[in-house]
Amino acid sequence: MGRTALTKISVIGMGYVGIPVAALLADQEGLDVTGIQRRSQRSGWKIDVLNTGRSPFEGDEPGLDRLISRVVKKRRFRVTEDFSVIKDMDIVLIDVQTPTDGADHKPRYLSLKEVSRQVGTHLKKGSLVVIESTVAPGTTQFVVQPILERKSGLKAGRDFYLAYSYERIMPGRLLDYIINLPRIVGGVNKKSRDKAVRMYKKIVKADVLSTDILTAETSKTIENAYRDVNIAFANEMAMVCESLGIDVYEVRELINSRAERHMHIPGIGVGGHCLPKDTWLLGYGVKQYGRSPINPEFVQLARKINNFMPIHATEMIKEAFASRKVSLRNARVAIFGVAYLEDSDDVRNTPAYDLIRELEAHGTEVVAHDPYVQTFPEAELSRDLYHVVKGSDCIVIATKHKSYFKLNLNKIKSLMRTPIIVDGRNVLDQTKAEKAGFLYKGIGKG
């Protein structure tokens, strides 16, 4: 008997979405996966790291290191910068960033359009193309599909197949979320959808749900807008509790004692690639392709509240400095954590950006510590916590990395010029911090 023919898959974009899905697919019998990554100064180094069987992520990603090592050793996964390999591919997944820009928050599809042109140029007849990047509703059919058809000379749904399936990942749980969360798949027609569903069922243990492309795109942006709104509610109530002189975390615990209530956790801000932009993508899609000019104002207000939290933290620092006769202009502030998420090296849209900019606008010297992040141009960054603390007037806990729950407060205080802590993630016990001699301020704590 002859060997079963390999299904060749290309995953474009070796980031937090592309790497784990590529590795999981490469681990399945009968699948051969090629990652494609531009060799730019910022991210081209990932090609060499991945081809040696290592993960480029510094944060804790259970199982990913072993998985990448295994599929590279089996020669089922490799990474290249050569887009021409697409000509041999049966399936192409597109996982590139889709940021929003400017005051009007319009999507910037430079990478998505360029990759679509490359895919269309090399696309093989009968192939399946799947967009996994988060996009405004309508983008796959009105932006990507025409580019693919023009460049390839092929017709979507007839000569090649086109689908949209959004990721639901979170750093720290990349494999877990891909494998165990339900997958939503939309197709330009039934055959496109069915082909994509069959592929995802090879790696997803949960339900794989199918719909049309527009519904799938809209579901992704509304799903993230829903979470953003709930976080904004928690953040606004945190400021309410500060004003009343009570603890929002106690309030939250009392509310959530009722099983069908679930108040979210407040904090210093919302980061990551998706939440800070998906509300704007939703609004853009409605404006461009909706039948009536509705503007989703409620979710946009929530976005503004979450964007305000780093500014609110700066106001807390100002208040603390005023009580200790410290000038912002002459102060040194130590930021603990620049990743947007705990135990991760992901700094995309981290609230630390706005916090640092706010402080530096007042002439404040800002230094930062993070146990996972290697480079952070916004501020002087060190992995030596005590070096960062030395001579500082305030510590701001911006990320709840697990190591920050075990801080030696007495040693830290001895190194500081002014012992002030602003806790943006409810990491420290207020009573213990005050007993150690700190002026403690926490978001949501009166």
**DSSP one-letter string for 16-50:** TTHHHHHHHHHTSTTEEEEEE----TTTTHHHHHH
445 is an active site residue: no
Q: Provide the CATH number for the domain formed by 221-300 in this structure.
A: 1.10.1040.10
The amino acid sitting at 341 is: L
- Domain boundaries, given as residue ranges, for the chain: 7-206, 221-300, 309-442
Distances (CA, A) of 260 to 90, 224, 227, 256, 263: 46, 20, 16, 8, 10
d(Cα 74, Cα 199) in Å, to the nearest integer?
20
pLDDT at 294: 83
d(Cα 152, Cα 171) in Å, to the nearest integer?
35
Q: Which residues contact 22 (CB under 8 A, 6 or more apart)?
A: 9, 11, 14, 33, 35, 77, 93
The DSSP-derived string for 61-92 is -TTHHHHHHHHHHTTSEEEES-GGGGGG-SEE
Over residues 306-356, the pLDDT tens digits come to 999 999 999 999 999 999 999 999 999 999 999 999 999 999 999 999 999
For range 293-304, the mean pLDDT: 91
Q: Which of 271-275, 398-402, 426-430 has the lowest mean pLDDT?
A: 271-275
Q: Is the pLDDT of residue 86 over 70?
A: yes
Over residues 32-47, the pLDDT tens digits come to 999 999 987 667 789 9
394 is an active site residue: no
pLDDT at 44: 73
Q: What is the mean pLDDT of the chain?
A: 96
36: β partners: 12, 80
For range 360-374, the mean pLDDT: 97
pLDDT at 41: 66
The DSSP-derived string for 142-211 is IIIHHHHHHHH---BTTTBEEEE------TT-HHHHHHHS-EEEEESSHHHHHHHHHHHTTT--S-EEEE
Q: Is the pLDDT of residue 295 over 90?
A: no
The active-site residue, picked from 8, 46, 195, 220, is 220
The amino acid sitting at 149 is: E
Let me know if 215 is exposed, middle or buried by CB neighbors in 10 A (0-12, 13-18, 19+): middle
d(Cα 444, Cα 202) in Å, to the nearest integer?
44
d(Cα 81, Cα 119) in Å, to the nearest integer?
13
More confident residue, 97 or 4: 97
pLDDT at 292: 83
For range 300-307, the mean pLDDT: 97
Residues 251-263: b if buried by 16+ CB within 10 A, e if exposed: bbeeeeeeeeeeb
Distances (CA, A) of 62 to 58, 172, 176, 177, 182: 12, 7, 8, 11, 20
Of the pLDDT bands very low, low, confident and very high (cuts 50, 70, 90), residue 293 is confident
Q: What is the DSSP letter of 428?
A: S
Measure the CA angle with vertex 278, ends 273 and 284; round to 5°.
135
Q: Is the pLDDT of residue 1 over 60?
A: no
Does the fold of domain 309-442 match that of domain 221-300? no
Q: Is the pLDDT of residue 266 over 70?
A: yes
- Helix ranges (DSSP H) in 245-266: 248-255
d(Cα 134, Cα 433) in Å, to the nearest integer?
42
In the CATH scheme, what is the homologous superfamily, with its name and number, of domain 309-442? NAD(P)-binding Rossmann-like Domain (3.40.50.720)
Q: Quote the pTM value.
A: 0.93
For range 113-124, the mean pLDDT: 98
Quote the percentage of the chain above a pLDDT of 90: 94
The active-site residue, picked from 274, 277, 394, 445, is 274
d(Cα 438, Cα 32) in Å, to the nearest integer?
57
pLDDT at 43: 72
130, 93 Cβ separation under 8 angstroms? yes
Measure the CA angle with vertex 162, ends 186 and 279; round to 5°.
50
Over residues 233-262, the pLDDT tens digits come to 999 999 999 999 999 999 999 999 999 999
Query: From edge to edge, which strands make up the β-sheet containing 380-382?
Result: 380-382, 365-369, 332-336, 394-397, 420-423, 439-442
pLDDT at 124: 97
Question: Does domain 7-206 sit in CATH 3.20.20.70?
Answer: no
Q: Is the pLDDT of residue 282 over 80?
A: yes
Over residues 162-190, the pLDDT tens digits come to 999 999 999 999 999 999 999 999 999 99
Picking from 14, 4, 22, 5, the residue whose alpha carbon sits closest to that of residue 40 is: 14
Quote the percentage of the chain above a pLDDT of 70: 99
d(Cα 396, Cα 415) in Å, to the nearest integer?
15
Most confident segment among 94-103, 189-198, 270-279: 189-198
